[in-house]
Chain A
């Protein structure tokens, strides 16, 4: 009798039931897929130049409305060039460009073909109001309630960031950080007014 043919005295190994194994693997694969999806979504910018900008509603601070209205829908501004500037009272670079934005706004306001929208990103209202008064901001401005607007543009938003949208609602320019001068702002907006 060879050893190989001898009856084994080792106990039969009881493995984990197949359905539990399948369940575990499915759970792990699902979890990894969710994690991967989250990483991919956070890494990729939401809006690129050339993409259509999803509609949003901006509610204004009292005294900073647009044509007397307390809020505005982006879709209602179709046909105009829209400059969306994200800012906050606690942001020093925002303060650095505040005067240039105001100068540019005052240059465009009489024509009515350009609308500036100031979106106050995660800020407190008393400090925001003090900021608006200090820098004599006069263009329509309101808080980004629930950060819903910033999530349309950029999930990893920093301030200041400025997005310029053309008359057809297409994003045409992204400025990360402050503009250096009012002329820089006009250099972005003017070609769109000229239909370029």
Chain B
């Protein structure tokens, strides 16, 4: 009698465990808005001009965010999702353009312009630093004194003659 009850209990426990396991499998957590937007902000709306996907209010963008949510729920990685978007909608959807062809200008020109600006500033600073030093030198040491200035000497000579 006891063993029969034990068997029934074991069957019951097994049944509960199996149904629980099934429930856990079916209820995979839905990705949150933050998780979806973390990927969406790395993409741009393929239709609107210069609008990141995470803030784009159109119906099309809502569909794309839903697609990202679905892919995340299916266990797809961020890189896979971005690649999917590139294949379907072109490389222009990427917030960070791929480093190919003319896109290199985006990565080269701004740092180059910055470095050039730094260099020009440095040159200007050097020139500015040199200028005052030399003019101070002129004022302090190289101005002719009254004693040996030929112009002053001539004025004094004239004055002496008139006395």
Contact = CB atoms under 8 A, between A and B. Distances in A.
A9 B131 contact: no
Interface in B106-163: 109, 112, 116, 120, 123, 127, 130-131, 134, 138, 142
19 contacts: A9-B138, A9-B142, A10-B134, A16-B123, A31-B105, A34-B102, A88-B60, A90-B60, A122-B47, A122-B88, A122-B89, A123-B60, A124-B63, A124-B66, A146-B91, A147-B89, A147-B90, A147-B92, A148-B90
Nearest to A28: B113
B115 to A, nearest CB: 12
Chain B interface mostly? helix
B109 A90 contact: no
Interface residues of A, number: 23
Nearest to A156: B49
B87 interface: yes
B58 interface: yes
Contact of B109 (A24, A31, A122): A31
A196 interface: no
B90 A90 contact: no
A122 B91 CA distance: 12
Interface residues of B, number: 29
A57 to B, nearest CB: 14
Interface in A143-166: 143, 145-148, 151
Contacts of A127: 63
Given A14-B127, A34-B102, A122-B46, A90 B87 contact: no
B13 interface: no
A10 B131 CA distance: 9
B73 interface: no
Given A16-B120, A123-B63, A124-B66, 13 more contacts: A11-B134, A14-B127, A16-B123, A31-B109, A90-B59, A90-B63, A123-B60, A124-B63, A124-B67, A147-B46, A147-B89, A147-B90, A147-B92
A95 B109 CA distance: 45
B107 to A, nearest CB: 14
Interface string A1-27: 000000001110110100000001001
Contact of B89 (A10, A27, A146): A146
Contacts of A145: 87-88
Nearest to B89: A122
B86 interface: yes
B109 A143 contact: no
